[in-house]
Structure 1
Amino acid sequence: MNIVSIIQQGVVQGAAHLYQLEISAEDIPLSTTRKEFEGDYTLVVFPFTKHVKKSPEAIAQELGAYLVEQVQSIKAFNVIKGFLNLVVDDAYWQAFLQDIYHNPQFGTQAPNGRKVMVEYCSPNTNKPLHLGHIRNILLGWSVSKIYEAAGYDVVRVQIINDRGIAICKSMLAWQKYGEGATPESSGIKSDHFVGDYYVLFEKKFQEEYKAWQQSPEAVALFEEKKKAEQSAEEYFKTFKDQYFNLYSTLGKEARELLLAWEANDPATIELWKKMNGWVYAGFDSTFDKLGVRFDKLYYESNTYLLGRETVDQGLNSGVFYRLEDGSVWIDLEDAKLDKKLVLRKDGTSVYITQDIGTAQVRYRDFGAEKMIYVVADEQNYHFQVLFEIMKRLGEPYAGGLYHLSYGMVDLPSGKMKSREGTVVDADDLIDEVVNEAWENSKERGTLADLSPEAQQEVIRKIGVAALKFFIVKVHPKKRMIFDPKESVDLQGQTGPYVQNAIVRCNSMLNKAGNPDLSAASDYHTLETAEKDIIAQLYQFPEIIKQAAEGYDPSMVAMYSYELAKAFHRFWHDYRILQAETEAAKAFRIQLSMAVRNVLRMGLDLLGIETPERM
């Protein structure tokens, strides 16, 4: 039984013995004692005053004395007003460390037979992965790892947006201006190559639009439509989309390409497959750099027709209704979500229709009771609508749908715009962080004795760790600014700082060799710092559980940072291999092994590797 349960049972028995009060263990909340007070766990006794006609201080004194006398694992207590602070006996922490120090999987739960699906990344094939995708990918991967550690069978998927007008823009630009160039002939990474043509289309379109604004047709249109005191510049700034659809030559050619794709024109399909193939190869390279993978890929070109049959069924059951113009809607006003279109009047799907069908297909594919969608907070309303529709359709998994909504990522220089080519590509950002790690390493000179290849591998692990940790340490719902230089600081709240604690453990354990640790059982009186570290280790399984329940990898990141900080401090303040006694030496080696294992596991849940040297 864990110490929390032991204390709770003791309180149950104490309440019955002292006050003839029947309570359940679940009704006894315990928290870790604040650092400025002595103790390990704190019980708030104010609720007892409803049933016991005594002051909170008196109740706390009586319960504390009972627990020290009757519960072997409680050594002492103190009372601060109505707060009972309990001190756990050193022997309990000693026994706990003996149980876990040699277990590299400590903290993980046994399989629970439940399945969860995590969707993340889900890029468009008209441009390479960028900084926003990195946050999405790292959140999705970390959540999937945390759920695995919590005992779930996890399926990782993404849906690739491989069709539509944006993809046709890249295709058209390559047709018109590419002159047969390929990623190989140009020496450009293949997804970047395609993305460059998306940017080129926008550039050519802007040139066309600017020239058109001087035409008699545009001048006449402005004079007819302008509002009072509105300049031509202001008017045409908001008219761009209408221009694309109604007047633009490039817009017409892009729409014709889309219609040819929808008609399954062989030449168009061949071009589409070729350019998407380039993009997929580039994506795979970036996924390898980030160390992530997927169990199944879904493609919008295969899913965009899904959901129509379900809408027909929903019409028959009254979930949806049809207007006179033929469009189909659902009324969600009673759920404060307005009315939502699910089929256009021409019978074509909208995104929500596709998502209905895709969820159903995934359930048939995997039978996951929980589906987690990692998508930016711009889509909050969309997922509220989707989940409400699935409930009304009576889908068996509807209660397990969850939108992991996250805030956008900015750089110190500001926001990004993909059509203008100002997006920070994922590959460029990874390279920049790795370069920052190189510069830091050169200043310290700690890797000079390694071969260039070995140095490169160490720096890669440090740089990628810096990127990942900096991203996931922020609560998903918060908007954030990513600073590459700050992310690699060995003294900051960073991935390399945590890695360095593991490297220190490894270095010390390598020097220790294979010592006999049996003397650790003779180490009976723990230093405060030692007990604090063991208490932190003790929390790790609960941290994993809470991070899974809260869909929040930042809990694991910050726990790992705090544990690393405690160990760094311990490393400076206490001797380990030259400890004052053999018992202290053996105990501290065990403690270091446990810290190393938990930090490794914590970083692994964030997708972070640790080098042997730094």
Structure 2
Amino acid sequence: MIELKEKIEAGAVKALKELYALDVEAVDLQQTRKDFEGDLTIVVFPYLRASKKGPEQTANDLGEFLVGSIDEVSAFNVVKGFLNLVISDAVWASQLAEIGNIPNYGIQPEGDETILVEYSSPNTNKPLHLGHVRNNLLGYSVAELLKAAGKKVKKVQIINDRGIHICKSMLAWEKFGNGETPESTGMKGDKLVGKYYVEFDKAYKKEIEELISQGKEEKEAKDQAPIILEARQMLKKWEDGDAEVVALWEKMNGWVYDGFEKTYKTMGVDFDKYYYESNTYLLGKKVVEEGLAKGVFEKDRDGSVWIDLTAEGLDRKILLRSDGTSVYMTQDIGTAIQRAEDFDLDGMIYTVGNEQDYHFKVLFIIMEKLGYDWAKNLYHLSYGMVDLPSGKMKSREGTVVDADDLMQEMEDTAKAISEELGKTEGMAEEDKQSLYQMVGMGALKYFMLKVDPKKRMMFNPEESVDFQGNTGPFIQYTHARIKSLLRRGKTEGIWPAEGTPSYTELQPSERELVKLLAQFPEIITTAADEHSPAVVANYVYEVVKAYNALYQQLPIMTDDNKEAIVFRLNLSSSTAEVVKTGMRILGIDVPERM
């Protein structure tokens, strides 16, 4: 299809030269809008001065020239200044045959460019929640999208395993846990640790109330509550390497990591390398000292180190406190350099919520000023918050939507709706359970990923598990329907057939579907350039919608013309492959039967 577009562009350039003595290097060729007849469109307004004619006459001149000189252009129509070219059915039939013969159609071969994608980045004081779900699904899908576009991709996460929040869970477990373990309670380790984060908050609030009742101001009460003083002391001991505190920290973090791995497995995401903040938080200090010597940074009288970004429209940013301790920015500088050394990277993508937009603007400018070549290829995959019909989440109060609970709810909802609609009749029990999990996770992932990452979104579990409309289950069901049709074609000995069918007088619904399939490689490239799985998700929905329109309008297995049946089965097969590949990029499995 790319070669045909280039041929038509060259033909249009030649037409402008011969008709109007106008020299242009290229002509902008666009997809024809759906409400117009045609396949490719040329906007003629830029050429009116040379033609000295109105837009309709200019478009007619060009159209007649192209139909007369390019065999693949069978007709044209003009709508004001828009020349809509119609590509012949024979071209589309040939295009389908080509698509069917390309292994891994749409996927580009791996090139030399290596991109790192960071996502998840949880704290070890609580289990993963709904916000983490969007983060993980976005990060994983963007990584798979970049792979499909020919990049070498490394998936990593940084685990926030140090700080006062960790000590809060540890202290509460010491005080109130009575030696509980994941084994003794039957709880996942991350949930058990999260339980004591909530317990700390309850005890802390109680002490604050008691101090306020004794006449202290709220701020003073918060600073002087005994349990927060103990947590700070525990953090100091951890930083000093106290053997007992470090042992407790290692034990409880171990529980959390085991819990996280189970959640990641259910979610279907993975990582090539884990970074831990406890190992990386000092990495940037040496780099800051080097930047200070180069004049990139400046030192204040109190010994603190800053960078002045007012010339870039930002402000001054601290990098080292006066006591020499690092801040988050310092950590991120050091970690970025470490990753570049670990993987010989060409760029990095940080999947982090939009509340950190300013942080990453500063980080990327700093890395460029420090002179790293890969700094120009740093990208913040900024995304909006996920809202629920029930309201906002608060982790300290234990009112978050737990990721494991959400995924189980999705599976249960998929089971209930599938059984109600009779989608699993005749299936073995084991196959049913696999299907419920596939449909539930497909519904969750698709609903999350069909929305542009930058937008804030409302997640409604029931709405997402719908077998009609722009949903994962609708796409999954269509794939299963196609596979059933292909099995029937094989059983009846109709498909696959030798050679290419001579069927070349396409119906509108057939032509529309082939056109959509032909766009798949460009869709992947566009989505990768925009770091947006939503582009792929909504494209796959358009493909499925077009297939269902064809399925309703045309007899696939019962046409009198056997060549038409073979063509439609070939079209069905290519549609299934594109749907499967597109959904796989989103991290979604599609069933063979339903």
TM-score (norm 1): 0.95
Taking the aligned partners of 1:61 and 1:92, their CA distance within structure 2 comes to 23
CA distance 1:309–1:527, shift in 2 (3 Å):
same
**Contact 2:149–2:528, Cα closer than 8 Å, also in 1:** yes
**Contact 1:124–1:160, Cα closer than 8 Å, also in 2:** yes
TM-score (norm 2): 0.98
From 540, 545, 570, the equivalent of 1:590 is: 570
Taking the aligned partners of 1:465 and 1:88, their CA distance within structure 2 comes to 36
CA shift for structure 1 position 568: 1.2
Amino acid at match of 2:138: L
Taking the aligned partners of 1:87 and 1:127, their CA distance within structure 2 comes to 58
Residue 169 of structure 1 aligns with which residue? 168
Structure 2 residue 245 is the aligned partner of structure 1 residue 265:
no
Q: Secondary structure at the match of 2:156?
A: strand
Q: Secondary structure at the match of 2:115?
A: strand
Q: Secondary structure at the match of 1:562?
A: helix
**Contact 1:104–1:598, Cα closer than 8 Å, also in 2:** no
From 427, 438, 456, the equivalent of 2:404 is: 427
For 1:140-539, list aligned pairs within 5 A: 140-216=139-215, 218=216, 222=217, 236=218, 239=219, 243-244=221-222, 246-513=223-490, 515-518=495-498, 520-539=500-519
Amino acid at match of 2:541: Y
Taking the aligned partners of 1:53 and 1:461, their CA distance within structure 2 comes to 61
CA shift for structure 1 position 518: 3.9
Taking the aligned partners of 2:175 and 2:328, their CA distance within structure 1 comes to 30
CA shift for structure 1 position 50: 3.5
Could you report, residue by residue, the CA deviation over 1:527-556 in whole angstroms, capped at 9, with x for unpaired residues?
A: 000000000001111110000000100000
Residue 10 of structure 2 aligns with which residue? 9
Q: Secondary structure at the match of 1:51?
A: helix
CA shift for structure 1 position 580: 2.3
CA distance 1:576–1:71, shift in 2 (3 Å):
same
Q: Which moved more, 1:93-102 or 1:301-310?
A: 93-102
From 542, 557, 577, the equivalent of 1:577 is: 557
CA shift for structure 1 position 311: 0.8
Residue 229 of structure 1 aligns with which residue? none
Taking the aligned partners of 2:119 and 2:147, their CA distance within structure 1 comes to 16
Could you report, residue by residue, the CA deviation over 1:168-204 in whole angstroms, capped at 9, with x for unpaired residues?
A: 0000010000000001111111111111110111011
Taking the aligned partners of 2:560 and 2:105, their CA distance within structure 1 comes to 29
**Contact 1:520–1:583, Cα closer than 8 Å, also in 2:** no
Residue 134 of structure 2 aligns with which residue? 135
CA shift for structure 1 position 516: 4.6
CA shift for structure 1 position 445: 2.2
Taking the aligned partners of 1:111 and 1:142, their CA distance within structure 2 comes to 17
Residue 91 of structure 1 aligns with which residue? 90
**CA root-mean-square deviation:** 1.2
Could you report, residue by residue, the CA deviation over 1:306-343 in whole angstroms, capped at 9, with x for unpaired residues?
A: 11111111111111111111100000001111000000
Q: Secondary structure at the match of 2:345?
A: coil
CA distance 1:452–1:325, shift in 2 (3 Å):
same
**Contact 1:49–1:55, Cα closer than 8 Å, also in 2:** yes
Taking the aligned partners of 1:608 and 1:153, their CA distance within structure 2 comes to 21
Residue 225 of structure 1 aligns with which residue? none
Residue 41 of structure 1 aligns with which residue? 40
Sequence identity, in percent? 50
User: Structure 2: 5+ residue runs without aligned partners?
Assistant: none
Q: Secondary structure at the match of 1:109?
A: coil
Taking the aligned partners of 1:518 and 1:12, their CA distance within structure 2 comes to 40
Amino acid at match of 1:544: I
Amino acid at match of 1:75: S
Residues paired across the two proteins, number: 590
Amino acid at match of 1:19: Y
**Contact 1:519–1:583, Cα closer than 8 Å, also in 2:** no
**Contact 2:99–2:518, Cα closer than 8 Å, also in 1:** no
Taking the aligned partners of 2:273 and 2:136, their CA distance within structure 1 comes to 15
Amino acid at match of 2:530: G
CA distance 1:408–1:47, shift in 2 (3 Å):
same
CA shift for structure 1 position 102: 4.5
